[in-house]
């Protein structure tokens, strides 16, 4: 094998290793999505102890265009919003935005209407009262 071929193979291997390292590491930012990775106690800002403790831990996702309490892209674990908008026909529509910025359309929720909200392990129920 010629010296130029060996050098080319070595350069290709180094570039491949760099690419793998760049896409598989990136703590605290997940490189493909731009989401800030929050894992472990080192990422927890503070806790307010009580019967039900409040954990304050910031989540940033550069792809999340929603403005949370801390600004665009930033959300907190307890930050959930119910938004009321109008559809193309002027009818009210409700959207549930969770702490990750994901939005779930609930349609037109009228008083005493029950809606199932998707959740990983089980389900939740929202009730609109008059």
Most confident of 12-16, 64-68, 94-98: 94-98
Of residues 126, 74, 60, 71, the one with CA closest to residue 96? 126
**What pLDDT, in 10s, does the model give residues 102-121?**
788 888 877 776 666 556 55
| Entry pTM | 0.48
Bridge partners (DSSP) of residue 76 are: none
Whole-number Å distance between alpha carbons of 63 and 87: 24
Q: How far is CA 11 from the centre of its chain?
A: 37
Of all residues in the chain, the percent with pLDDT exceeding 70 is: 61
């Amino acid at each position: 094998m010629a010296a130029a071929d060996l050098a080319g193979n070595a350069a290709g291997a180094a570039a491949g290793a760099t690419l793998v390292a760049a896409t598989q590491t990136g703590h605290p930012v997940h490189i493909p999505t731009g989401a800030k990775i929050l894992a472990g106690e080192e990422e927890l800002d503070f806790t307010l102890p009580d019967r039900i403790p409040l954990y304050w831990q910031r989540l940033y996702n550069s792809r999340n265009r929603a403005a949370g309490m801390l600004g665009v892209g930033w959300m907190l674990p307890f930050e959930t919003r119910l938004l009321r908008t109008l559809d193309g026909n002027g009818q009210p529509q409700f959207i549930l935005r969770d702490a990750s910025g994901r939005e779930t359309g609930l349609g037109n929720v009228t008083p005493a209407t029950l809606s199932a909200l998707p959740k990983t392990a089980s389900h939740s129920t929202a009730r609109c009262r008059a």
